[in-house]
Amino acid sequence: MALVYIEQLEDLDVEEMQQTHEDEVKLLNEIDKLATQHQMGQPTLEELEVKLNQYLVHVKEHFSNEEKLMRKYDFPSYEMHKMAHDIFLADLGYAVNQWKRTDNLEKITNFIRKSPEWIVLHINSVDAPTSAFIAKQMELEA
């Protein structure tokens, strides 16, 4: 069983947003799988750490690219959407700090395992209307 399924997410009209979400779901599931294997004593630590670092870069790029698109197309609820990103990044940063400070990998893997709840809700209730607005603006521009 995967941690999160692409089918749980709204399919967005803005292709780059959709692709980013699909890539992120893939990364989250890979991390979950490697963390389980690590917990069962398999030598996946190095691979897991690589994936965790990829995820940290990915999520920051994911949010900053969306914010760039919102600014480009003058999305009216930019501040609200950006604040949601900033709060998630602050929570994620806290989990990363705890992981590094205590060298306890579970501080970050537990956070990631709980994150789909936020991500699915954010994509379906915040990214979806944002994408609908941007797609319309893109069409007008074309």
- The site for Fe ion (CB under 5 A) is made up of 66, 127
Closest C-alpha among 31, 20, 47 to residue 114: 31
Q: Which is nearer to Fe ion, 36 or 77 (CB)?
A: 77
Least CB distance to Fe ion at residue 107 (A): 24
Q: Which is nearer to Fe ion, 37 or 88 (CB)?
A: 88
Least CB distance to Fe ion at residue 136 (A): 17
Q: Which one-letter DSSP state was computed for residue 4?
A: S
Closest C-alpha among 41, 30, 20 to residue 109: 30
4's tokens: 């999160």
Residue nearest to Fe ion (CB): 127
89's tokens: 């990044």
Least CB distance to Fe ion at residue 84 (A): 7
Q: Which is nearer to Fe ion, 48 or 92 (CB)?
A: 92
